[in-house]
Amino acid sequence: MRNRSHRWRAALAATAAAALLGTAACDADGGSSAPSGTAGARPSPRPTPVWDRSPDSMAAVGDSITRGFDACSVLSDCPEVSWATGSDPGVGSLAVRLLGTAGAAERSWNYAVTGARMADLPGQMERAVARKPELVTVMAGANDACRSSASAMTPVADFRAEFQEAMDTLRRALPRTQVYVSSVPDLKRLWSQGRGNPLGKQVWKLGICPSMLGDADSLGSAATLRRGQVQDRVKAYNQVLREVCAKDRRCRFDGNAVFDYRFGTDQLSHWDWFHPSRDGQARLAEIAYRTVTARNPVT
């Protein structure tokens, strides 16, 4: 009985050893992983980061600011100085900073349109989607506040729905493309900086942002109330941009950096004293680059 029990235990030990050897052989062939903590254990692959700080292509959507309007000549686009995709070395556009000069020329596209409002953004986004960019920049909303009167400004609810539609248009086609969203500039500050220039005020009369710039010299109660309404609407738009962007893990809002930037006369067009000059475009490019390449998003 003792010998039979001894033989049974020996057979069981041999079977266990064979199974262990078989497992080791399977690991050598790549069929399964070695036990944790052993010399043959493979390191777990690092997860791909949600945000790529060096995208390889980009497209821009938005309005006249992204087209470089009035930066080079009066009432004209000048896309070569665009903060987003321009080639002017004095600006150092976001595309040039991310892709290099040659890369920016080959792999960046500007679909912004002077005069565009948020309602136009879904259509621009459709055009951008066709290029399959790894990054899309958004700067829109100023023209929703710059209307013939304060009462004609885009309602906040409509603005939200239109921006969400633009984001949905992008996400249906390109779920992994990143989005940089700029805040709307402080239009009241632009009025306060430019109102002292006679030439600029003459250009304003041609129809540039009447809700804010109309009757530019008036400090009466009606004009002050109107400008305050425009200012409040811009702040509401920026809150919408923040909230919609926050729902998308591949979207970064600038944290109101553009709104908070204290544009001075050097940063304003010397044609209309309202749109960014070359220097102003360079400041916008710096803000965008800082946001896109930050290790963590702005909160």
Question: 60-111: per-residue pLDDT in tens?
Answer: 999 999 999 999 999 999 999 999 999 999 999 999 999 999 999 999 999 9
pTM of this prediction exceeds 0.95: no
User: How far apart are alpha carbons 179 and 192 in whole angstroms?
Assistant: 31
User: How far apart are alpha carbons 240 and 116 in whole angstroms?
Assistant: 18
State pLDDT tens for residues 141-153.
999 999 999 999 9
pLDDT band at 40 (very low <50, low <70, confident <90, very high): low
Among residues 141, 49, 146, 134, which one has the least CA distance to residue 95?
Answer: 134
User: How far apart are alpha carbons 241 and 184 in whole angstroms?
Assistant: 9
Write the DSSP assignment of 88-154 as a string of letters.
Answer: -TTT--HHHHHHHHHHHHHHEEE---TT--GGGHHHHHHHHHTT--SEEEEE--HHHHSSSSGGGSP
108-110 β-sheet, strand order: 108-110, 58-62, 135-139, 178-181, 251-253
**Cα 92 to Cα 20, 43, 212, 286, distances in angstroms:** 62, 41, 30, 8
Does 171 score more than 70 pLDDT? yes
pLDDT band at 45 (very low <50, low <70, confident <90, very high): low
Q: What is the pLDDT of residue 279?
A: 98
pLDDT band at 49 (very low <50, low <70, confident <90, very high): confident
Does 28 score more than 50 pLDDT? no
What would the two tokens of residue 186 be? 């402080």
What would the two tokens of residue 294 be? 């930050």
pLDDT band at 215 (very low <50, low <70, confident <90, very high): very high
Residue 157 Rama label (left phi>0; alpha psi -120 to 50; beta): alpha
Does 195 score more than 70 pLDDT? yes
Q: What is the pLDDT of residue 298?
A: 79
46-60, 150-164, 281-295: the lowest-pLDDT one? 46-60
Write the DSSP assignment of 213-258 as a string of letters.
Answer: HTTTT--SHHHHHHHHHHHHHHHHHHHHHHHHHHTSTTEEE-TTHH
Write the DSSP assignment of 144-207 as a string of letters.
Answer: HHSSSSGGGSPPHHHHHHHHHHHHHHHHHH-TT-EEEEPPPP-HHHHHHHHTT-HHHHHHHTTT
First to last CA, the chain: 77
pLDDT band at 16 (very low <50, low <70, confident <90, very high): very low
User: How far apart are alpha carbons 206 and 208 in whole angstroms?
Assistant: 6
Among residues 144, 141, 155, 132, which one has the least CA distance to residue 245?
Answer: 141
Does 243 score more than 70 pLDDT? yes
pLDDT band at 30 (very low <50, low <70, confident <90, very high): very low
User: How far apart are alpha carbons 120 and 109 in whole angstroms?
Assistant: 17
Q: Rank 7-21, 191-205, 240-254, 285-299 by mean pLDDT and report only the highest.
A: 240-254
User: How far apart are alpha carbons 208 and 214 in whole angstroms?
Assistant: 8
Does 237 score more than 70 pLDDT? yes
Does 3 score more than 50 pLDDT? no
SS3 assignment, position 21:
helix
SS3 assignment, position 71:
coil
Residue 200, class by beta-carbon neighbours within 10 Å (0-12 exposed, 13-18 middle, 19+ buried)?
buried
Does 15 score more than 50 pLDDT? no
Does 163 score more than 80 pLDDT? yes
SS3 assignment, position 63:
coil
pLDDT band at 33 (very low <50, low <70, confident <90, very high): very low
7-16, 57-66, 278-287: the lowest-pLDDT one? 7-16
Does 11 score more than 90 pLDDT? no
